[in-house]
Amino acid sequence: MKKQRIVPVVACYWVPPTEKNHPGEYAVWCPFCSEWHTHGAAAAGHRAPHCIEESSPFKETGYELKCIGLLPKHLMTKTGSLKNISKLKIEAEHIR
């Protein structure tokens, strides 16, 4: 019997396109790496993490994205990069 794994669902923001050829992306705050992970504009769903922290449980399971809306302007710096804040948290878990 194959063991089921628990895949966390994480809240993410939609980051609209900034250039003509850039389709936009999702931004997720990682509480383990203490940085933003961004993912391409494909539909929200299961994603492989970009974790640099070896102890991150996301490395084993990945996570499901749940978009909670547009990235608020106060989370962007003047240069257009994402601010380093820990506003997003793991929202829920479900069995995959």
Report pLDDT digits (tens) over 70-94.
988 777 765 566 766 544 444 433 3
SS3 24: coil
Give the span between the Cα atoms of 79 and 77, in whole angstroms. Answer: 5
Give the span between the Cα atoms of 16 and 19, in whole angstroms. Answer: 9
Residue 30: closest CA among 61, 53, 47, 64: 53
Q: Is the pTM of this model over 0.85?
A: no
Residue 23, CB-side half-sphere exposure with 13 Å CA sphere: 6
pLDDT in tens, 7-45: 888 888 988 887 777 788 898 888 888 888 889 877 667
Radius of gyration of the chain (CA): 14
Q: For residue 40, what pLDDT is reported?
A: 85
